[in-house]
Amino acid sequence: MQAAAKSSKEKATEGELTPGQRSADDSLTGGKKEAGRVLGEQSYEKCLADITLFVGSFALGAPWAIQMFDAFGKQSQGVLTGNVRWPGAYKECLDVRATDLNSTTELFKGQYCTATIKTSKESIPPSVTAYPGICIPDSCNDTNARAILAPLVTEMEMDFTLSNVVCQIEHPLDTITIVAICVFAFVGFLMALGTALDIVLVQMPKWRMARMPAILKKGIDSYSAASVGETQPLLNSKTPTHPEEPGLCAQLLISFSVYTNGSKLLSTRQPPGSLTSVHGIRFFSMTWVVLGHTFSAVKKFSYNSAVYQKEAYDRFSFQMVANATPSVDTFFVLSGLLVAYLSLKELDKNKGKLNWPLFFFHRFWRLTPLYMMVIFFNISIEQYMGSGPNWFDRDKSREACEENWWTNLLYINNLVNLDKRCLGESWYLANDMQFYLLSPLIFVPFYYSPYLGGLSSLAFLLATTISPGVITSELHFTAGSAKLAEKTVAGANSFNDYYIKPYCRMGPYVVGLVAGYILYKYASRIRMNRIVALCGWAVAGGVGMAVIFGLYDASKVTDTEPLEVWEAALWNSLGRTAWGVCVAWVIIACHTGYGGFINTLLSWEALIPLSRLTYTLYLIHMTALAVFGGIMRVPMFMNDIDIVMYFLSLMAMCYMVGAIVSLAFEAPMMGLEKILLHGNKKK
């Protein structure tokens, strides 16, 4: 390449264009007609002129042009093992300042873009899609850059075709970002003001009341020791015996108090009858979710993903990561169980009556404010959090949220506009809300009759069991990370058509509703001898292991035994519900005294504050992963230790950020709901 560049430089100095230069100039001119129709002559002409200047200046050896070419991503080693991202030098490209040969006037700056190229079957390596970084003038945009460069690649008879170009964009401080900054700053102000009012109006009087017994004791001792004279009464009618309640306005502000909300977050006290094992299950399930997503995210930005995946999938233990989707089903079980358990207790307390408007509003209010704030942050501020070769993925996510945030607000984002999903992991929230709306059809019949509840539960279970089986059979979807002997039907998308659909995922939720009824009705009457309890644990453990590790042979890269369609349909129909039954057994056994050391672990008090942050963690961890990946300047090397370190650092950071986010948006909303809808009920 250096020799070729030198030769070109010598010929250009002599006033002669090389054949390569002539073909490049001819190709650049030939692409003008199509691009001009798309974007207009002016923008196209400027981009064309600047690229032509770059080509000519590189031939003449201009330092800025050599710097620009040096910033291009070049094919690297290990393409056959997954190294298809060649980012080049991101910062070097942005530092380019093009000038004319005879002056120092700046003509354009360097702009970093990511191209998508596809090699031909005859090339080496064959049939590979790669993503090299390219450095082009900032006068170009995605469309005219592709229109100009694609014919150039074709004219030069290279072994690949240029199919797409995505350029990095510097986002100016727009209106929505300014609004977001003001909103978040105002929330910070409310937190500071609420904390100050809380300390002055609530906490300090409490502290004085707490000191009162010591003061009284000291006064009594002084009174007893007095030999002469009269002493004023220690207490009179004006002496306060409890702190005065702040007014409504002050209470609303105190809802944002970091002191009170932080105390509640860190508290490990649980009322009698609490399902203490739920906290541990929630924490470990969230950890499992983040681990699975970490692996999925890291492999997109590594240069040895193919080799690592081959080695990893051949390990039996790796099924815990490869087949981590039951972790989400655990949350469906917990959600259904708590809804039924608490609602049935409320029905029992109120003799069959329930405030239904409040029942539905509470769930919406519990989830939505924090949910919408995270989306608002992604649309407005996240774009300024970083930059890099992979940052264009975050731009796509922001555009999807700008267009489809309303589907998230209505909790229908798992049913409509699936091609542009906002906050992709929020499909779970849509399902959970839809299940919540349907839950009275199951737990209300249970309140009146176990037979009616059983029939209703059975009807929902049949529907959610048959649906995934039929869909899997018709569209030839796989199960977990396994491979199918037959290919998926063209146009089918297993994530959109099966994985996120409510009629395919409700099984564990129904199991949770039934488990909640069992705990409400029979928890105090459940008695098992040791043998029965051990058999229950053995069966639950065996079924759970089968769900997680049962697809091992079909998931291996080498010596794979692919699943038949009926086998995948059977797993998709029964696997998630079976997992839900296992989780329900753990909760029931632990709550009724048959959990042993497992209950001790799951009920560990240190996990209680962490479990309270799982909702916040679920909403922010994918954004954190995407930002980490977006700012990577070079691909990373995948191995077990690096992924574990990446995962642990992500968990630590997300819990710290999650605590702040929870104190700012989640806890205050819960406090406002109690004040406005329930009033200030004294103990």
CA angle 292, 293, 296 (to 5 degrees): 95
Kindly give, in sequence order, each residue whose CB lies less than 8 Å from that of residue 346, ignoring residues fewer than 6 positions away. Answer: 354
Indicate the pTM of the whole model. Answer: 0.85
What's the gap between Cα 256 and its chain centre? 26
Contact predicate 35/144, CB 8 Å: yes
Q: What are phi and psi of 388, to 5 degrees?
A: 160, 175
Measured CA to CA, the distance from residue 602 to residue 197 in angstroms comes to 37
What pLDDT, on a 0 to 100 scale, did the predictor assign at position 374? Answer: 95
Q: Report how far residue 36's alpha carbon sits from residue 653's, in angstroms, rounded to the nearest whole number.
A: 48
For the chain of 683 residues, list the mean pLDDT of each consecutive stretch of 10: 38 37 41 42 80 90 92 83 84 90 84 86 75 90 84 72 82 87 96 95 86 62 50 50 77 95 93 90 96 89 84 90 93 97 93 92 95 94 84 77 94 93 93 97 95 96 96 92 83 92 97 96 87 95 95 84 90 96 96 93 95 96 88 84 92 95 95 80 44
Please say whether the dihedral angle defined by the alpha carbons of residues 407, 408, 414 and 419, taken in this order, is positive or negative.
positive
Tell me what pLDDT residue 157 has. Answer: 64
pLDDT at residue number 8:
37
C-alpha torsion 299→472→396→78, nearest 10: 30
In 200-285, at which residue ranges do the beta strands (DSSP E only) sit?
A: none
